[in-house]
Structure 1
């Protein structure tokens, strides 16, 4: 009596194949999506009947904007381990240098007239950032912007010094809470938009493959549209 062969296990569903011309990295994908939006406008012979170049350009821009917002929102909610006292000490130290920069640039007699732009308040004979935490956080944002406006951002106590202080202080005062709450929403928006963009990227590759007869012509047109290399 023959022993029946064992029933083979059901085949696993193959994972969808990704086109190697489309990067998995989201920043690279956004860059490609934006490039294609412009390059497609210069190639009106490439037609997808279900979406126009203009409609795609809007979707590509929305995806890039959502990705940028997601990255920025995520950066605003780091693990916070520093205290107000630590930041206040750095502020006191750095502000003396900033006031010196203003005096060097505009002269001792005119320096104080620029303080308000930098978020600096006059309290009796002293010139400092507001002491209330929420107001100080706002003043730090003003200071950051003023450093750039007045060409002082590259100084030793310029943007590189103040940016982490301003971001950290904003986090401690709760200014980053809204950004934190929006991260999940932005992720959802980005995922929906990336699907739209990937659909067009894949369709455009297939369209070029169908319309250009030789491998050389197809490769040249894909490069022109931004598909520069394969992403393994």
Structure 2
């Protein structure tokens, strides 16, 4: 049985090959010839499309940035916020499963990039943080999340936890004995994450009293 046809353009194959090699070995240790060999094109074609290794790197970063933007677009869905508020993880897990296909080089690439102190990594983080703050504020307005008095710092704390999951996933697989990013392991991780984040997830108004996730009363309300 033959493999499925690869309908990517030559440019996309080269970019994806570079992403895979950069993730596995680091950018400094990868040559244009190695990228060409993995993409099954000539080195001249790589030069034709990207001009230089710097151009190829820029294309890889832009691809990862687009992936992040698409993930944020999905996360901004108000239905997703309502599912979080209700403690329904299934649709959220589906979003993550689609965004993080098993074996994708995006996560190991980000792991390497974030550890280098590269200004590109800082800019990605800055953009990621800006979008997170926007979503926190929008969800706070909708009553599905408590952004708190300092949403910038709260978003950074949430991102630190999320990035820790992504960047340490290989280690967590060994420590915990399950994969926190895929399959049943993702569900197990997510269930505990929902309890962990309950303090900023208001309970939906069902007419029943519940202390979990409720917004703390103000001093005036408590008196």
Q: Does TM-score exceed 0.5, indicating one fold?
A: no
- Which structure: greater helix fraction? 2
TM-score (norm 1): 0.28
Which has more radius of gyration? Answer: 1
Could you say which structure has the greater relative contact order, defined with CA pairs below 8 angstroms and 6 or more residues apart?
A: 1
TM-score, with structure 2 as normaliser = 0.29
